[in-house]
Structure 1
């Protein structure tokens, strides 16, 4: 979803989840260790809730069951009596090995939160609903670049299916119907191989930034999915990566991440801290929203500090959570977004942290079902709190330290299910 992003702040980190599937590249694993342990030997395991976690595992198995490392485990998970707590506990303890993640010999890292927001909107533009929720523009093109091409100074590309481009191998100059792409023009995310751009003459240039889009550039052929009341809520919808819009007739439109403009995410909370407008303690999502409400004339300039812009697609409202990067619905309170370079999508993850703004332990067997733009690093997770304003309160305030253990079927080692 999209879940999509930030720094040390709950907010930007908040949403780092774009639910946009990423194409992970090989991680810099030299400083990361995975230390095996029996679940029953981990002190925090005794506090973890397993029954609701089994429901989330069964969701993950919709994507994992086809993989040989997971097929037997998923079959047996489906056969379990979900009401038998002892059987569920034994299942996890006997079928899985826990792998504690350490990065540079540290076993703690940042745990933030995200949620699915609710916005008020309409199918038509009006004085009450002037802010558009855009689908993918027709003039946005994408190119999936392989490892060899990433080391080239420039590429020659041509149009392929839809809005995709393809590399023309063995050429240094474009012919008719081909385009020049200079890699130095782009700043791709180190974890993904996808570039986003636009065609200008015989060149492919980076797609427009947020400031350029807000000034009226680009967006050719971009459908407007809805119009919403509040510009700040729309900005945070892009940060979260998915949400619901309540229309004037009382019905709901669910939207999720479809694409983004290719520019890196920048935390507006960090900007406000650096400018002396907020303290670190005040830079929660709620604190940032309050600052914007008090300074409406500075709102757009602040938003423009984050050049990333997210485009959406309508989603079927199935009554369950939004789709994560794994392709299955997220489970409130049991799904996390992770960095797929270090944690395999779909794996159960034992999380030991504390409740937001508290020292009270929060220990749960979560499931790695999503990714996000700000979720970078081995001991790093974004906790999905669910839908609506109460979930938003928890998500916006969560900036805790925590530990992570990956659970893998016995006999499967982390390097076998992570990018090579």
Structure 2
């Protein structure tokens, strides 16, 4: 079938599905916010169902980032026809509560809201309104797919003989300072003013001095995270310093965990639930971080000969720590990155709130590198299931980020809540390919 015939056919498929569902839901409006060239602030004009997909084979590259996007067809995607599109649509709808603030996503989110919740209608929704873009990174078609989950820790809301390890909110002396591009590229001394609680800014007449050479700044750094010592602004405490008691009396304690290793993995996952002896749950979500770089304790343990690298799964690390408690401070302190939490009012029936600001959906949400993958976009991930080692190909939503998630083909797959999800997530580290779906007329771009 020729391209113009295919577009014509798909358009009428959408109309047909709407007509059969008329008693259940309204048909989509065809008036929506010119195809853009990657400008997220330029609205799309004209009937949304008439905007053609980008012809297959067009390539966009992100300047200096070695990530390329090549337009594809849905027939290029493995096992596309057999997807549970209804579940993918549900996850996308949840993300639309935040995407509607972005001009390029408003029209497709309006359409998603009124699309009948059945598999065929959901399939046509994605096929008619999106273009798939195959991602390559440094010439590689595959990257790493890992898994994460929402853990359940045992603990209490107050300190007890068992619940002894504090879960901190944002410290009182923690200050975040926006970092302009010019300062990121040319390190040296700057002056800083504290402008409010936990906030500051770089200013020529500031009363604090900061040596940027002392801060862990890289090309992606957007803020300095530090504290005041005399008239100096210095980097914030590392994990090892915090674990040794540096925050005593300086930060609100949201709860106490029974197990320091489980608490460490709460930091790795970024959110979780704490269960008290009375059965109460405290939902904990990401609030901020000390901005020290994430370093893998698995790599450290393998290099030290504590565990073979193949055995440094979450389960393997937990088991080794139980057998070697004298190494606890040493091993955990190798990752200087530290997360501060907030209590999360999300419903017990919803997943944790991701970086997009919407609740995650079990097995249909993922964390990505938002510099290369549009946050909130559908992504098709072709990888391997960690338990039975069979192909695991699925249309999920890029709704979260993570400190260790870097690169164009780097996905952290959200498996859900509790020990069963943790068992799958902890064993997942496979190669995978990624297609990013963007609204027709909207092309990929690097997002600094």
Q: TM-score with structure 1 length normalisation?
A: 0.89
Corresponding position of 1:127 = 161
- Provide closer, same or farther for how the CA distance between residues 218 and 130 of structure 1 changes in structure 2, counting only shifts above 3 A: closer
Task: Determine if contact 2:85/2:120 at 8 Å carries over to the other structure.
Answer: no
Q: Summarize deviations over 1:211-260 as a string: whole Å, max 9, x none.
A: 21222224543111111211111111111111101112211101111122
Corresponding position of 1:291 = 320
Which region of structure 1 is more displaced relative to structure 2, 384-393 or 124-133? 124-133
In the TM superposition, 1:3-402 aligns within 5 A as 29-83=64-118, 85-150=119-184, 151-169=186-204, 171=205, 174=206, 178-319=207-348, 320-402=350-432
Task: Determine if contact 2:275/2:281 at 8 Å carries over to the other structure.
Answer: yes
Q: Measure the CA separation in 1 of the matches of 2:355 and 2:213.
A: 28
Q: Measure the CA separation in 1 of the matches of 2:90 and 2:400.
A: 16
Q: Summarize deviations over 1:22-73 as a string: whole Å, max 9, x none.
A: xxxx976442110001223433322432110000110111111222211111
Give the deviation of 1:207 after TM superposition.
0.9
Task: Determine if contact 1:336/1:370 at 8 Å carries over to the other structure.
Answer: yes
Q: Measure the CA separation in 1 of the matches of 2:271 and 2:65.
A: 34
Work out the number of aligned pairs and report it: 386
The structure having more radius of gyration, on CA atoms, is: 2
Q: Give 3-state SS (helix, strand or coil) of 1:217's partner.
A: coil
Give the deviation of 1:381 after TM superposition.
0.3
Task: Determine if contact 1:189/1:264 at 8 Å carries over to the other structure.
Answer: no
Q: Measure the CA separation in 2 of the matches of 1:323 and 1:359.
A: 29
Corresponding position of 2:6 = none
Q: Give 3-state SS (helix, strand or coil) of 2:430's partner.
A: strand
Q: Give 3-state SS (helix, strand or coil) of 2:127's partner.
A: helix
Task: Determine if contact 2:384/2:431 at 8 Å carries over to the other structure.
Answer: yes
Segments of 4+ moved more than 6 angstroms: none
Which region of structure 1 is more displaced relative to structure 2, 190-199 or 328-337? 190-199
Q: Summarize deviations over 1:353-381 as a string: whole Å, max 9, x none.
A: 11005431111111010000110111110
Q: Measure the CA separation in 2 of the matches of 1:234 and 1:40.
A: 44
Q: Measure the CA separation in 2 of the matches of 1:243 and 1:27.
A: 35
Corresponding position of 1:20 = none
Corresponding position of 1:412 = 442
> Does 1 or 2 have the higher relative contact order (CA < 8 Å, sep 6+)?
1
Question: Which ranges of structure 1 fall in alignment gaps of 5 or more residues?
Answer: 1-25
Q: Measure the CA separation in 2 of the matches of 1:41 and 1:130.
A: 53
- Provide closer, same or farther for how the CA distance between residues 89 and 120 of structure 1 changes in structure 2, counting only shifts above 3 A: same
Report the aligned-residue RMSD. Answer: 1.6
Q: Give 3-state SS (helix, strand or coil) of 1:34's partner.
A: strand
Q: Measure the CA separation in 2 of the matches of 1:131 and 1:28.
A: 45
- Provide closer, same or farther for how the CA distance between residues 43 and 242 of structure 1 changes in structure 2, counting only shifts above 3 A: closer
Q: Summarize deviations over 1:154-182 as a string: whole Å, max 9, x none.
A: 2111011221111114x5xx5xxx10111
Corresponding position of 1:4 = none
- Provide closer, same or farther for how the CA distance between residues 43 and 118 of structure 1 changes in structure 2, counting only shifts above 3 A: closer
Q: Give 3-state SS (helix, strand or coil) of 2:79's partner.
A: helix
